[in-house]
Amino acid sequence: MRQVLSAGKTGPGHWVGDGFPVRSLFSHMGGENSHDPFLMLDYAGPHRFDPADRPKGVDVHPHKGFETVTIVYQGEVEHGDSTGRGGVIREGDVQWMTAADGILHKEFHSQEFTRKGGTLEMVQLWVNLPAKDKSAAPGYQSITDAQIPGVDLADAAGRLRVIADSYNGRTGPARTFTPIEVWDLRLNGEKGISLTPPEGQNVTVVVLDGEVTINGSASLAGPATARLGNEGGIRIDAATSAKLLILSGEPIGEPVAAHGPFVMNTQAEIHQAIAEFQSGKFGTL
């Protein structure tokens, strides 16, 4: 079984713009990169918004050097970026945006969600890119709920949706630069699952809701995370119904230099990224 290297609850919450009340479940911003190749995961909500006349959210801002993965559980988010791509991300949908060489984008509640109000619940995951791919062309993958294969687990234990890579013969739709597994897992109370991520990959178990025990030793009540070693299997047992993300990825193993929305390998590259943004290289939106 994989060793549970660390486990902990989320920190205090903060607002991103006026539309996303988030808690960071882990982050590279503290100067460490122990979840490599994953940089950060923010959990927004669940938060109830009243009907409004103006969409809430975050206006135009840049990213460079990594990818953002947005998974919507409740509510609707509307995206637009400087590549000309965009659209509404609905319940169960995933947006996989490759910032790479530089992109501008904006995220707001959808017009329909704004008009009706409702509960918003989503996560945004930042995935690092290796140095050789940080200069790749920006890209956008719009992945609908219907495109994500689901696997019903044995013994009525729950269901697993395959967003990236594969599970039990089903392959997810997301295209990735490095080997990554992203699995959206729901477990029923008093049920469990055994998983075998590829050897050598770092694994993070994200518990968004519910209570689980990992490998018989670490008990977590969501929202919380556990970081595991890179050898062996995983056993997750749910005391209550639980909602989880399983993140597994091959470590990139390169230096990380970060400044706000820019993630590069050196401080010199950060200064260059800022200059490129200020000069308009990321396009217009």
- Predicted pLDDT of residue 32: 82
- pLDDT greater than 90 at residue 8: no
- pLDDT greater than 90 at residue 134: yes
Dihedral angle of Cα 154, 157, 158, 161, to the nearest 10 degrees: -50
Q: Where are the alpha helices (DSSP H) in the chain?
A: 111-116, 267-278
**CA–CA distance from 202 to each of 164, 224, 250 (Å)?**
15, 17, 6
Q: Using DSSP bridges, classify how beta strands 57-63 and 66-74 pair: parallel, antiparallel or unpaired.
A: unpaired
- pLDDT greater than 80 at residue 11: no
Is residue 133 within 8 A of residue 67, CB to CB? The reply is: no
Nearest alpha carbon to residue 261 among 279, 247, 274: 274
- Predicted pLDDT of residue 9: 82
Q: What is the rounded CA–CA span in Å between residue 269 and residue 210? A: 41
For CA atoms 10, 14, 16, 20, the dihedral sign is: positive
Please tell me the pTM assigned to this model: 0.96
- Predicted pLDDT of residue 148: 98
Cis? peptide before 197, omega within 30° of 0: no
Is residue 92 within 8 A of residue 58, CB to CB? The reply is: no
**Residue-wise over 69-96: b if at least 16 C-beta within 10 A, else e?**
bbbbbbbbbbbbbbbebbebbbebbbbb
Tokens of 282: 């990321």
Task: List CB contacts of 121: < 8 A, sequence separation 6 or more.
Answer: 44, 45, 46, 47, 72, 73, 74, 75
pLDDT tens across 213-263, in order?
Answer: 999 989 999 999 999 999 999 999 999 999 999 999 999 999 999 999 999
How many other C-beta atoms can be found within 10 angstroms of the C-beta atom of residue 283?
A: 14
- Predicted pLDDT of residue 161: 98
Angle at 129 between CA 21 and CA 236, to 5 degrees: 60
Q: What is the rounded CA–CA span in Å between residue 178 and residue 201? A: 11
pLDDT tens across 83-94, in order?
Answer: 999 899 999 999
Task: List CB contacts of 56: < 8 A, sequence separation 6 or more.
Answer: 17, 18, 19, 49, 108, 109, 114
pLDDT band with cut points at 50, 70 and 90 for residue 29 = confident
Beta strands in 65-102 (DSSP E): 66-74, 77-81, 86-89, 94-98
What's the average model confidence in pLDDT over 150-154?
97
Classify 148 as helix, strand or coil: coil
Q: How far is CA 108 from the centre of its chain?
A: 17
Q: Which of 31-40, 140-149, 181-190, 269-278 has the lowest mean pLDDT?
A: 31-40
What's the average model confidence in pLDDT over 156-184?
98
What's the average model confidence in pLDDT over 35-55?
97
